[in-house]
Amino acid sequence: MFRGLLPILFLLGLVNKSVLVHAQDDQSGFISIDCGIEDGSAYTDNVTGINYVPDTDFIDGGEIHKVLPIYNSFDVDTQLTTLTSFPQNTRSCYTLKPTQGKGNRYLIRARFMYGNYDFKSQLPEFDVYLGPDYWDTIKINSSSRPVNMEIIHVLSSDYIHVCLVNTGRGTPFVSVIELRLLAGDMYKETDYGSLYLFARVNFGSVFRTVRYKDDVYDRLWSSINWPNSTLLYTLDQVSSFLFTTIDPPSAVMSTAIMPTYPKDSIKINWNPDNTTDQFFMYMHFAEIEILKRNQTRQFNIYLNGNRIYPKPFSPLNHTTITVYNAEPDIAAPTYTLTINKTKNSTLSPIINALELYVLKQIPQRQTDDRDASAMWSIKSTYGITRHWQGDPCAPQEFVWDGLRCSYNTTDSPRITFLNLSTSGLNGGIDPAFANLTMIETLDLSNNNLTGTVPHFLSGLNFLKVLNLKGNDFVGPVPAELIAKSKKGLLALSFDGESTNDTLSSCDTNPCKNTKGNKIIVPVIATVVSFVVIMTAVTAIWVITKRRTHAKRKTGTGLEIRKQQYTYSDIQSITNNFNVVIGKGGFGTVYLGYIGDIEVAIKMLSESSLQGDKEFQAEAKLADFGLSKAFPTEVGTHISTVVAGTPGYLDPEYYTSNRLTEKSDIYSFGVVLLVIITGQPAIIKYKEENIHISRWVNLMLAEGDMKNIVDPRLLGDFDINSAWKAVELAMACVAHTPSRRPAMNEVMMELNDCLVMEKARKETNPRQLTGLSSLNLESAYDPNPR
Q: Is 107 exposed, middle or buried (0-12, 13-18, 19+ CB in 10 A)?
A: buried
Q: What angle do CA 664, 668, 670 make, to 5 degrees?
A: 120
Percentage of the chain exceeding pLDDT 70: 78
pLDDT of 431-480, one tens digit each? Answer: 999 999 999 999 999 999 999 999 999 999 999 999 999 999 998 999 99
Average pLDDT over residues 541-552: 36
CATH class of 520-773: mainly alpha
Average pLDDT over residues 109-132: 96
Where does residue 702 fall: left (phi above 0), alpha (psi -120 to 50 degrees), or beta otherwise?
alpha
The pLDDT of residue 503 = 32
Lowest mean pLDDT among 351-360, 390-399, 638-647: 638-647
pLDDT of 605-662, one tens digit each? Answer: 655 545 555 555 446 344 444 444 444 444 444 444 555 567 888 887 776 777 788 8
329: β partners = none
The pLDDT of residue 736 = 81
Where in the chain is CATH 1.10.510? Answer: 520-773
User: Which of 368, 482, 366 lies closest to 435, judged by CA?
Assistant: 368
CATH homologous superfamily of 30-181 equals: Galactose-binding domain-like (2.60.120.260)
Topology of domain 369-506, per CATH?
A: 3.80.10
Is the pLDDT confidence value at 505 over 80? no
DSSP string, 712-737: GGTT-S-HHHHHHHHHHHHHHT-SSG
Task: Report how far residue 736's alpha carbon sits from residue 752's, in angstroms, rounded to the nearest whole number.
Answer: 25
Helix (H) or strand (E) holding 3: strand 2-3
Percentage of the chain exceeding pLDDT 90: 58
Is the pLDDT confidence value at 546 over 60? no
Thinking of the domain 222-360, which architecture would CATH place it in? Sandwich (2.60)
Is the pLDDT confidence value at 289 over 60? yes
Lowest mean pLDDT among 340-344, 452-456, 560-564: 560-564
Highest-confidence segment of 387-391, 587-591, 660-664, 716-720: 387-391
Using an 8 Å Cβ cutoff, are 402 and 445 in contact? Answer: no
The pLDDT of residue 578 = 86
Average pLDDT over residues 35-50: 96
